[in-house]
Chain A
C-alpha cells in the first residue's frame, strides 16, 4: 500500500509539472506582443521603445522563456502568485476572496448530485424497465443534455419575472452571513448538481444491476433476506465503487461547468474572475488560475484513487 501511495504521488507530481509546463507553453505562444494586449494598440504606440523595454523587463517578460518558467515555479513554491496587470490585486488575494464561493458551489453540487442521483439510481435498479425506471432514465438523459448555464439563466429569469427576486451580487462569505451566502451559492450548486446527478443515477443503476446478478446476492436472497436489505446492505456497497470514481471525473465537469454557470447566475466566484482575465488577456492571472483548477482536479482524482484502494479490499496495489 505504501509503495502504491508513493508511486501515485510521484505520478501526480509529474503530471502537475507537465500541466504547468503546458499552461506556460500555451500562454506564451500568444500571438502578438503582450504589451499590445495590456495597453491596447494606441497606448502601445504612444510609448517610446525605451519605455517598452523597461516595462517588459519590469514584468519579467523579456527574460528567456526557460528562465521565466523556472521563476514562475519558484514563485509558486514561495507562495507568490503575482498580480493582475489591470487591477493591482494580487492573484493570492483574488483566490482568497473569491475561492471560497466557488469551492462551496463545487462541494454543494457534489452533495446534491449524490442526494439526487443515488436514490434515483437505486429506485431504477429495484424495478428495471418499469415506469418509474423509464421516467428516471428519461430525466437523466434530459439533464445530461441541458447545458447548465442555460438552465441557470432560465432559473434567474423565472425568479426575476415571477417573484421579483434577485440573488445578492456582492460576495458574502458563509462566516459573515450564512443566509445571504446560501442565496448566492445554492442556485449554481443545484444546477451543476442535477447534471452530475444524472450521470450518477445512470452509473449507479447499471452498476447495481450488474452486482444484483452476482452469486452472493442470490445467496442473500436464498437465506430469506428482504429485498430491501439485500439491495441496501449487500448489493449497494459493492456497486458504489465505480460511482465514487465517476464522482472524481464529474468534479472536472463541475469545475469547468461552474465557470459558465457562475456567469449565468452572476455569482462573483473564481470562474468569473477567470473569464474576466481571459477576456482582458491578463496572462499572469490566467496562468495561475488555470493551474489552480488543474491542481484541484488532479489532487481530487488521486484522493478518489486512494479511497478506491481503501474501500475495495480486493484491490491490492503492488
Chain B
C-alpha cells in the first residue's frame, strides 16, 4: 500500500515517453495509466467493450436463430439444448439476449450521440452568443426538462410511430437539455478567456470563434456527458420495450423479452431474469466507465454534476 502511495508522488515515467510515442503506442500507454488509477472504471470499460463485441458478433455467437419458433420446445427451463431456456413460442432465450444487445446498444449509442451532440452544439451557441437567444433557449430546455424522461419518450414515440428510428429520436430528445445545460456553462467560462478574445479581436466571425476556439474546449465534458448518459438511455429503451411502446416485436430487445415474460400466466423465471441481468450488467459497466472518465477528464465536474442537473437556473 505504502509503495503505491509513494508511486503517485514520483514523477510518472510515462509522461515524457508519452509525447515521444505516437499512434497506437500512445493510446495504449494512456489507457494503461487510466486503468491503473481507476480500476473499477477500467473493469467497466472492459465489460462494456465485451458487450459491444457480443453485439457485433451476434450472428457468430448466438447458438440459434433468435426469431425461429420451435413449438415442440415451448417454455422450457434452461437445459443442455437451450442454455437459458426458451420462451412461449420456443425461441432460444440465449440467442435472443445476444441479439438483444444489438438493438439495445444501437439505440442507446445513436440516441446519446444524437441528443448530446445537438444539445452540446446548442449549448455552445447559448453560452457564446448569450443575450435573447440564450434566454429563449434556456426556457425551451427548461420545458424539455419538465417532463419525466420516460413519459416524454413515450409521448414522442407514440406520436411518430413505434419503430427503431422513432425510439432513437424519442430518447435523443430527452438527452438534449442535459448537454445544453452543461456545455453552456463551459462555453460561458471559455468565452471570457484571453485567447477567445484575441480571436474576436482579430476579426473572426462568431461562427468561426465558436467552431475553432470554444468547441474544442467542450470535448472533455462532452465525452463525460455521453458516457454517463449511455446507461440512462439503455434503461429508457428497455422500459419502452417493457411497456410495449418501444422497438416493436418480433425484434429481440431486452425490454420486449421482459414484457413477454409477464404476459404469461405462470411467468417463467428464466425469461424474467436473464434479459434484466443483461440490462443491469450493461448499465453498471457504462456507469462505472462514465464515473471514471469524469474523474479523469473533468474533476471539476464531479461534485457539481448532479447539482447542475438539479438546476442551472439556480444562482
Interface residue ranges, A against B (CB under 8 Å): 11, 14-16, 18-19, 22-23, 26-27, 29-31, 141-142, 144-147, 149-150, 153-154, 157, 160-161, 199, 202-203, 206, 210, 242, 245-246, 248-249, 252-253, 255-257, 259-260, 263-264, 274-275, 278-279, 281, 286, 290, 293-294, 297-298, 301, 305, 308, 315
Contact = CB atoms under 8 A, between A and B. Distances in A.
Given A145-B280, A242-B307, A294 B146 contact: yes
Contact of B159 (A27, A157, A246, A248): A27
Residues of A contacting B: mostly: helix
Contact of B243 (A255, A259, A297, A308): A259
Given A26-B159, A27-B155, A18 B140 contact: yes
Contacts of A298: 146
B143 A19 contact: yes
A141 B287 contact: yes
A147 B239 CA distance: 8
Interface string B238-259: 1100111100000000000010
Interface string B273-308: 100100110011001100000000000000100110
B310 interface: yes
B146 A297 contact: yes
B287 A203 contact: no
Given A278-B158, A279-B244, A145 B148 contact: no
Given A246-B306, A278-B158, A293 B239 contact: no
B151 interface: yes
Contacts of B307: 242, 245-246
Q: Please list the 4 inter-chain residue pairs (A to B) with the smallest Cβ-Cβ separation, ordered nearest first.
A: A256-B148, A150-B276, A256-B150, A145-B284
A255 B310 contact: no
Nearest to A278: B158
Contacts of A144: 287
Nearest to B269: A157
A275 B243 contact: yes
Nearest to A254: B148
A146 B147 contact: no
Contacts of A16: 146
A150 B235 CA distance: 10
B148 A297 contact: yes
B283 A145 contact: yes
Given A145-B280, A150-B258, A153-B272, A260 B161 contact: no
A293 B142 contact: no
Interface residues of B, number: 49
A109 to B, nearest CB: 13
A153 B258 contact: yes
A242 B314 CA distance: 12
Interface string B123-154: 00000000000000001101110111111101
B284 A260 contact: no
Contacts of A256: 148-151
Contacts of B160: 29, 31
A256 B147 CA distance: 8
B148 A253 contact: yes
Contact of B311 (A26, A31, A142, A245): A245
Given A146-B283, A275-B245, 17 more contacts: A11-B142, A15-B143, A22-B143, A31-B161, A141-B288, A150-B258, A157-B269, A245-B314, A255-B151, A257-B148, A259-B150, A260-B150, A264-B242, A264-B262, A286-B155, A294-B146, A294-B148
B163 to A, nearest CB: 11
B310 to A, nearest CB: 5
Contacts of B156: 26
Nearest to B149: A256
B269 A260 contact: no
B151 A259 contact: yes
A153 B140 CA distance: 36
The residue among B143, B242, B276, B280 with the most chain A CB atoms within 10 A of its own CB is B143
Nearest to B244: A279
Contacts of A146: 280, 283
A258 B11 CA distance: 51
Interface string B156-170: 101111000000000
Contacts of B276: 147, 150, 153-154
B139 A293 contact: no
B155 A249 contact: no
A281 B162 CA distance: 12
Contacts of A31: 159-161
25 contacts: A16-B146, A18-B143, A19-B147, A26-B155, A26-B156, A27-B158, A30-B159, A141-B287, A147-B238, A147-B276, A150-B279, A153-B258, A203-B306, A242-B306, A245-B314, A249-B309, A255-B148, A256-B150, A263-B243, A274-B154, A278-B158, A286-B158, A294-B148, A294-B151, A305-B314
